[in-house]
Amino acid sequence: MDNRRSVPDILAGAIFAGIGLAFVVASLGYELGTPLRMGPGYFPLVVGGILVLLGLGIVVKGLVAGEAIEWGPVPWRSMLLIVVALVFFGLTLRRAGFLPAVFVTALLTAFASYRIKPVTAVMVAAGLTGMSILIFIVGLQLRLPLFGPWLTF
């Protein structure tokens, strides 16, 4: 650990301070009360304040004596695809039904890998859909229709 600036430290500190500040500001909108009878805002205000201080502390430490952290690549495409897959799942499960929702979610997720071939991805998605139906619908009796109102006539 040599004395130097560390971007990850500064970033982490900024995230902490930012979230802490958001909670502090929001807490002020609730009744604070007194230490004897704390209102809903009291405790989050204090903890939020602590988080802001810790975050600033991490930023300062990152400026003067940061931790050496190996950064490495960020898989932006994978992140986007997995988020989209989860949102898609949440949006369509009820409407399109279990089978299509799971299949598309699995397919989108599979493409989050940079190395997967399209054919393999489709096979993985199909296999996963079958397994999910067996485990959750047949095995655990989850009450979800295989095909939802969008696909049944």
Partner 1 sequence: MLDNLALGLETAFQLENVLYCLLGVVLGTAVGVLPGIGPTATIAMLLPITFSLEPIPALIMLAGIYYGAQYGGSTTAILINLPGESSAAVTAIDGHEMARQGRAGPALAAAALGSFFAGTVATVVLAVFAPPLARAALEFGSAEYFSLVVLGLIASIALARGSALKALAMIALGVLLGTVGQDIYTGTPRFTLGARELFGGLDFVSVAVGVFGVAEILRNLENETTRSAFVERVKNLWPSRDDFRRIVGPVVRGTGLGSLLGVLPGGGHVLASFASYSVEKRLSSTPERFGHGAIEGVAAPESANNAAAQTSFIPLLTLGLPAHPVMALMIGAFIVQGITPGPNVINEQPALFWGLIASMWIGNLLLVLLNLPLIGLWVRMLAIPYQWLFPAIVVFAAIGTYSLSFNSFDVYAVAVFGVLGYALIKCGCEPAPLLLGFVLGPLLEEHLRRALIISRGDASVFFTRPISAVLLALAVGALVVSVLPAIRRKREEVFVDDD
Q: Which is nearer to partner 1, 75 or 151 (CB)?
A: 75
Terminal-to-terminal C-alpha distance of the chain: 65
Q: Which is nearer to partner 1, 143 or 152 (CB)?
A: 143
Q: Which is nearer to partner 1, 54 or 146 (CB)?
A: 54
Cα–Cα distance for residue pair 24/30, rounded to 1 Å: 10
Q: How far is the CB of 5 from partner 1 (least distance, A)?
A: 14
Q: How far is the CB of 152 from partner 1 (least distance, A)?
A: 19
Cα–Cα distance for residue pair 50/36, rounded to 1 Å: 20
Helix, strand, coil % over all residues of the chain, rounded to 5: 65, 0, 35
Q: Which is nearer to partner 1, 89 or 147 (CB)?
A: 89
Q: How far is the CB of 29 from partner 1 (least distance, A)?
A: 9
Tell me 140's DSSP state.
S
Q: How far is the CB of 4 from partner 1 (least distance, A)?
A: 14
Which residue bears the tokens 């007194």?
Answer: 34
